[in-house]
Amino acid sequence: ATTTVKENKMQVNGVFASTELMGDLTILERELIRELEKLYLQSVQATDHIKQHMDEWRNSQPHSNDKINEESERKMLIGNLNGTTAAPVTDRFTTDVLQDEEAGSSNYTVRVMKLLDSVTPGDHGHAAHHPIDAYLLIKRRTHSYYVMTNALKKLAKSIKSTLSEINNDEADLLPKADDFHGTAESLIRMQKMYKLSVRNLVQGIVNQDASGGKQDIVSQNKLELWDVLFLGESAERIGYSYESREWYAEAAAMLDLGAQLPPGTEHMLTKLKTATVEQKKLSDIEHQLDVTETDLPKFNTLMGPEETLKYQVRLCAGEQVRSVEYEATLYCKLETHGSPYLLMMPFKKEILSLSPPVVLYRKFLSPAQVETIKRQAKPNLDLAEVHGEENTHSTMERISMTSFIGKPEYGDPSTLDDLHPEVDESDFLTDMNKKIERATQLRVASTKASERYQVANYGIGGMYNLHFDFGKKERRNGERLGTFLIYLTDIEAGGGTVFPRLGVGVQPELGTALFWHNLKPNGMNNQLMYHAGCPVLHGDKWIVTKWILYDENIRKFPCGLSNYAKLSL
Ligand X SMILES: O=C(O)CCC(=O)C(=O)O
Interface positions with Fe ion (CB under 5 A): 469
CB of 452 to ligand X, least distance (A): 13
464 lies in the site for ligand X, by CB under 6 A: yes
Say if residue 131 is exposed, middle or buried (CB neighbours under 10 Å; 0-12, 13-18, 19+).
exposed
Pick the closer one to ligand X by CB: 11 or 545: 545
Helix (H) or strand (E) holding 136: helix 131-139
CB of 423 to ligand X, least distance (A): 23
Residues that contact ligand X, how many (by CB under 6 A): 7
Which of 403, 410, 412 lies closest to 375, judged by CA? 403
Q: Which does 18 bind (CB under 5 to 8 A by kind): Fe ion, ligand X, none?
A: none
Report the residue from 533, 536, 542, 549 that binds ligand X according to the rule CB under 6 A.
Answer: 533
CB of 167 to ligand X, least distance (A): 36
Q: Is 141 helix (H, G, I), strand (E, B) or coil?
A: helix
Torsion angle of alpha carbons 533, 534, 535, 537, nearest 10°? -130
Alpha carbon distance 31, 35 (integer Å): 6
The b-or-e profile of 433-456 (16+ CB within 10 A means b, else e) is bebbbbbbebbbbbbbbbbbbbbb
Pick the closer one to ligand X by CB: 361 or 464: 464
Pick the closer one to ligand X by CB: 471 or 523: 471
Report the residue from 497, 512, 526, 553 that binds ligand X according to the rule CB under 6 A.
Answer: 497
Q: Which does 543 bind (CB under 5 to 8 A by kind): ligand X, Fe ion, none?
A: ligand X
CB of 308 to ligand X, least distance (A): 15
CB 327 within 8 A of CB 320: yes
Pick the closer one to Fe ion by CB: 120 or 497: 497
Q: Which does 385 bind (CB under 5 to 8 A by kind): ligand X, Fe ion, none?
A: none
Report the residue from 211, 446, 489, 545 that binds ligand X according to the rule CB under 6 A.
Answer: 545
507 lies in the site for ligand X, by CB under 6 A: no
* HEC secondary structure over 413-464: CCCCCCCCCCCCCCHHHHHHHHHHHHHHCCCCCCCCCECCEEEEEECCCCEE
* HEC secondary structure over 308-363: HHHHHHHHHCCCCCCCHHHHCCCCEEEECCCCHHHHHCCEEEEEEECCCCEEEEEC
Report the residue from 543, 544, 549, 569 that binds ligand X according to the rule CB under 6 A.
Answer: 543
Residues 6+ apart with CB under 8 A from 376: 405, 455
316 lies in the site for ligand X, by CB under 6 A: no
Residue 499's beta-bridge partner residues?
504
385 lies in the site for ligand X, by CB under 6 A: no
Q: Which does 462 bind (CB under 5 to 8 A by kind): ligand X, Fe ion, none?
A: none
Q: Which does 497 bind (CB under 5 to 8 A by kind): Fe ion, ligand X, none?
A: ligand X
Pick the closer one to Fe ion by CB: 385 or 469: 469
CB of 467 to Fe ion, least distance (A): 6
516 lies in the site for ligand X, by CB under 6 A: no
Pick the closer one to Fe ion by CB: 232 or 482: 482
CB of 531 to ligand X, least distance (A): 5
CB of 543 to Fe ion, least distance (A): 10
Q: Which does 533 bind (CB under 5 to 8 A by kind): ligand X, Fe ion, none?
A: ligand X
Residue 360's beta-bridge partner residues?
350, 514
479 lies in the site for ligand X, by CB under 6 A: no
531 lies in the site for ligand X, by CB under 6 A: yes
Pick the closer one to Fe ion by CB: 1 or 151: 1
DSSP-assigned states of every residue in 73-127: HHHHHHHHHHTSSPPPHHHHHHHHHHHHHHH-HHHHHHHHHHHHHHH-EETTEEG
Which residue in the shown chain puts its C-beta closest to Fe ion?
A: 469
Which residue in the shown chain puts its C-beta closest to ligand X?
A: 533
Q: Round the CA-based radius of gyration of the chain to a whole number and report it.
A: 35
276, 280, 419, 475 from 122: Cα distances, Å = 66, 72, 106, 95
The contact set with ligand X (CB under 6 A) reads: 464, 469, 497, 531, 533, 543, 545
